[in-house]
Amino acid sequence: MTDEPLYAQLGFTDAEWGLLTGLPQSVLTAASAATPDSARKTRAESAAGLDRISDARASASGLVSAVAAAAVAEAGDPEIGEEPPVIEPSDPAGYAADVLVRAGEAATLLSTKASLADAETYRHWLLEIADAVVGAASTGGLLGIGSETVTEDERSFRDELAQALTA
C-alpha cells in the first residue's frame, strides 16, 4: 500500500488537482451568478449543480469519478442532506471571467496529462453542470408567465465555457 495521494497516482500535482477539483463548484457558482435571481431560485440552481457534481462520482471515467468525489468531500454531499452555503460573488462578471480562464487552463492540462476519453468526459461534465444550473429556475415574468428558462447572460456564459474548454 502506498501513501502517495490519489492525485499523484493519477499524474497530477497538488496545484493541478486543486484546479480540477475546484472548477466544478466554480462553474456552478458562475453559471448561477450569470443572471441575478431570488434566493429561492439561486438555491434551486445550486442544488441542481450540486446534484450533477455528486452524480459524477459514478462516472465511468476514473478521473471524473475521483474529481467528483473530492469536490463532494469539499463542498458537501447532497445525498446525505449536506447543504453547502450558496456563494454569491460580489463581481459576477469578474468571477465568470476567472472561471473561464481556469477552464482553459484545465483543458490544456487535461490535453497533456489525461487520456482523451477522461479529458473529454471532464469537459462534458463541466458543461452538464452549467446546463443543470442555468436550466434549474426560470427568470423574469409574472407568476411564471413570460419568464425565460435560460437567459441570454446564462446562455452566453455556457457558450463561453464550451469555447474555453476546447484545448
Q: Are 133 and 28 in contact (CB under 8 A)?
A: yes
Find out whether 72 and 22 touch, Cβ atoms under 8 Å.
no
- CB contact at 8 A, 129 and 28: yes
Indicate whether 100 pLDDT > 90: yes
Please give the full DSSP string across 128-145, using - where no structure is assigned.
HHHHHHHTSS-BSSBTTB
**Long-range contact set of residues 70-73: C-beta below 8 Å, sequence gap at least 24:** 70/6, 70/17, 70/21, 71/21, 71/22, 71/24, 71/25
Comparing CA positions, the residue from 28, 42, 24 lying closest to residue 132 is 28
Dihedral angle computed from the Cα positions of residues 101, 12, 85 and 36, in that order, rounded to the nearest 10 degrees: 20
pTM of the model: 0.87
pLDDT band at 40 (very low <50, low <70, confident <90, very high): confident
The DSSP symbol for 146 reads T
Calculate mean pLDDT across residues 78-85. 69
Q: For residue 101, which phi and psi values (nearest 5 degrees)?
A: -65, -45
C-alpha cell at 163: 469555447
**Model confidence pLDDT, tens digit, residues 53-65:** 999 999 999 999 9
Tell me the mean pLDDT in the region 65-69. 96
